[in-house]
Amino acid sequence: MNSDPFVRILEARGLVILDGGLATALEDQGHVLADELWSSRLLRDDPEAILMAHTRYLDVGADCITTASYQASCAG
């Protein structure tokens, strides 16, 4: 048996369900993401919002969630 959870799910079901758009989920929670750091700003300012978005995706059947690292630094 493979120890990789991703492979185990894929072998068992033939597919892996990924989460949806993190920024969209955060906007649905009422967060405004109109700045340079987008959703990654919330890692510092409101990490519970990130946790809530991820938890909601897991609650509706996602097997895999992505990181909140997109646009995590400013150019320059």
Q: What is the pLDDT of residues 29-47, one digit of tens each?
A: 999 988 888 878 899 899 9
> Which residues lie below 8 Å from residue 27, measured CB to CB, with a gap of 6+?
33
In a domain, 71, yes or no: no
Banded pLDDT at 64 (limits 50, 70, 90): very high
For residues 50-58, average pLDDT: 97
- SS3 of 30, please? coil
More confident residue, 73 or 10: 10
- SS3 of 38, please? helix
| Tokens matching residue 29 | 């929670």
In a domain, 67, yes or no: no
Domain limits for position 21:
5-59
The H or E element containing residue 50 is helix 47-59
In a domain, 64, yes or no: no
In a domain, 66, yes or no: no
Q: Share the mean pLDDT of the chain.
A: 90
In a domain, 65, yes or no: no
The tally of domains found in the chain comes to 1
In a domain, 23, yes or no: yes
